[in-house]
Structure 1
Amino acid sequence: MKRILLITLFTMMTQLTFGQVALIKDSDGWTNVRKEPNGNAKVIHKIYGGEVFWYNSESTDKEQDWISIYIPKNKFSLGNSDPTEIEGFIHKSRLLPLDSLKSYTGTNFKFNYEIKAFDQTNRIVGKQDDRWITSIDGRPVWGTDGDFPKTEVNNISVEINGLNLEVHKVFFSDIYECDNSFSVYESNGTFFVYQWNSDGAGAYQIVWVFDKSGLKQRLVGSII
């Protein structure tokens, strides 16, 4: 019964991801997203260099030229639209899986969460069936399976080339059960911080995208 309730809960409050994270490789700096898996199909969107999205990792194992991808409608994963993603196809030659990049080991980029114990004081909590937590202060609850989170993010510090970049609270007030274990990648001056977070059951992926001007994208999603 709990599993049924949790599936309903996640359907209501999160977007679903369908595989792995990728960006594009294209000398033009952008790639067409098509409605159907062929080069004559209608163009429904364009993806630009440095943007991350989900792709169907299973389809890359097959002998086919087009890959299913899922692009968030809100580049910071803050939207409440249903569905929360655009589904389309790109040619597999344009796909660059994020984890195919070499891990960044330099010192010009620094990222760190300041984490504290979750505080319930004066929080506005939404519940389903008077039990399962569906929102906190009007925001989704990433990282739990319907219970109160144990930890929350108090601040995020980011530094590029010695300059501190501000990350507004709105971008971390809905993510919970974070830690400072993550992978960092770099491509053409853009940095990608990738990790899984959870309380053991409410797992989600998050990708932070930064360049020297600041936060460019936040990609958040769960796999059920």
Structure 2
Amino acid sequence: MKHLVVLTGAGMSAESGLKTFRDENGLWEGHDVMKVASPQGFASNPNLVLEFYNQRRRQLKTVQPNAAHKTLAKLENNFKVSIITQNVDDLHERAGSSNVTHLHGELFKARNIADETSVVHWEDDIILGTTDKNGIQLRPHIVWFGEDVPLFEKAISICQTADILLIIGTSLQVYPAASLMHYTAQNISKFYIDPKPSIASKENLTVIGKTATEGIKDFINEIR
């Protein structure tokens, strides 16, 4: 069974109603990204940061996986599928995908501010004073700018064993995630789905300039 590795970004979940956060001005929901997604921002204004993610968590409860999520899950019938996502939502899992690596953390998880391994499932709001069982303040289990990406080495290992690479809904501008495609074997088939692709088709790389739900149909036709 061939190994299909899928790299997904915010465009994967956009059609489910989740905003891609960063607009053309580099703002996330009207906020400077460094004020809501960095250790410095959290130290400076923890209430702002916690409420930013509370809003994201609440919104995630109101949406459902889209057709592209569901198609990837169904591909497990014919391929070994490994999904590496920059997304912090759980829509891949809810659609039925069984092997998902979250590079940038997960909205429905939290950890205390003293230990990055103290991860717990968490779907409620977090405010100042929300602590773990040891009385230590909780924070979102999100990899902020300037923090290490702890699952990056695992993601590299997955990419190195890919027979087919599919990239969906990412600008390929956020590193180190954007570098993962370069860890696959050069001769494998690679596909990139995005309505505003940042790169062009070339040898072994097919670019599909469509949304996730439409582009994945073209991808299925290509690999049949």
Interval containing the TM-score (normalised by the shorter chain): under 0.3
User: Per residue, is there more helix in 1 or in 2?
Assistant: 2
Q: Higher relative contact order at CA 8 Å, sep ≥6: structure 1 or structure 2?
A: 2
**TM-score computed with the length of structure 2 as normaliser:** 0.23
User: Per residue, is there more strand in 1 or in 2?
Assistant: 1
